[in-house]
Amino acid sequence: MPEMPEVEVHVRHLRPLLRGKTIRSVKVSRERTTRPTPPREFEKVLAGAKFKDLSRRGKYLLFELQPKNSKKPLTVLGHLGMTGRMYLAGKNGELPRHAAVVFDLGDRNFIFEDWRYFGRMTLDLSPIEKLGPEPLDKNFSPELFWESLKKSRQSIKVKLLDQSLVAGVGNIYASEALFRAKISPKLPANRLTLAQAKELLRAIRDVLNDSIKAGSTFSLKAIEGGPGALFYFDDGSESYYERRLRVYDRAGKPCLNCKTKIVRITQAARSTYFCPSCQRK
């Protein structure tokens, strides 16, 4: 479920709930999740630590902790992978089937649930170093974006997924941003004009901001099932992200601008959706 807006929504939701909470114990149920940190080491280092803060970088979550037996702050890097979500839950009910990591906070559990186990919770911070600028950072200028694009002959759609170019654009919003900017997903990155780079960066910011404002792509909602629990809900009408996305997953359906049928193509083994009429160049 993670595109960057989901991560941002997680962070805003969890930050006030976790701040100041002390971890009694940690149980890693899926060994893979803490890679490359050994699961037993992860459990040991975090037992007794206190949550100080939570922030986001690209699609990563950064948990700042104060360890029990050391003054040195500790950072845990989280990633939701494809199907991860994090929430607090009461300790009465059963743990979910795909609970990857469970933090015992005393009154409640903090749970990292991840059906496909592509996500991570680790002490290894190295993935952060390779990330490019934050798309919503005002200091990230269209000119800088354009300079980066000029270095690559890759198609612009594929290039947008490169987290060292911009940190946080995923497969859904790459298609959405190109649709809004009216740029062909097949255009080589180094052939965008400065004007197109400006349009594209603006479109990226718009789609991400819209989604964050709407509470994320996947109708992720904070509901009062257990205090502070995060759950998906599906309102039952068509596909649950259909109203918010203008081109993604709409193959064969009419373009919202010109009625031309939306086309699905494969680029770098991922689906791309676009309007062959609006996105000619």
Partner DNA sequence: CACCATGTTCCTTG
Partner DNA sequence: CCAAGGAACATGGT
d(CA 196, CA 281): 10
Which residue in the set 29, 141, 152, 209 belongs to the binding site for DNA (CB under 7 A)? 152
59 is catalytic: yes
Interaction residues for DNA, span 243-272 (CB under 7 A):
266-271
- Phi, psi (5° rounding) for residue 75? -115, 135
d(CA 118, CA 79): 8
Tell me the C-alpha to C-alpha distance, in Å, between residue 219 and each of 145, 214, 230, 233. 30, 8, 11, 6
Residue with smaller CB distance to DNA, 17 or 80 = 80
Site string for DNA, 168-197 (x = CB under 7 A): --xxx-------------------------
d(CA 152, CA 148): 8
134 is catalytic: no
d(CA 206, CA 122): 31
In the complex, the smallest distance separating the C-beta of residue 251 from DNA, rounded to whole angstroms, is: 9
Interaction residues for DNA, span 20-49 (CB under 7 A):
32
Which residue in the set 29, 118, 136, 214 belongs to the binding site for DNA (CB under 7 A)? 118
Number of other residues whose CB lies within 10 A of the CB of residue 43 = 18
Residue with smaller CB distance to DNA, 35 or 68 = 35
Per the structure block, which two tokens stand in for 226?
A: 């257990």
Residue with smaller CB distance to DNA, 22 or 267 = 267
From the candidates 3, 8, 43, 199, which is the catalytic residue? 3
- Find out whether 205 and 213 touch, Cβ atoms under 8 Å: no
270 is catalytic: yes
Strands 25-28 and 50-57: unpaired
Residue with smaller CB distance to DNA, 22 or 75 = 75
Residue at token pair 């404002």: 213
2 is catalytic: yes
d(CA 117, CA 248): 24
Per rule CB under 7 A, count of chain residues that contact DNA: 38
97 binds DNA (CB under 7 A): yes
Number of other residues whose CB lies within 10 A of the CB of residue 23 = 21
Give the residue numbers marked as catalytic: 2-3, 59, 270
Residues of the shown chain interacting with DNA in the complex, contacts defined by CB under 7 A: 1-3, 6, 32, 58-59, 79, 81-83, 97-98, 115-118, 127, 130, 151-155, 158, 161, 163, 170-172, 217-218, 266-271
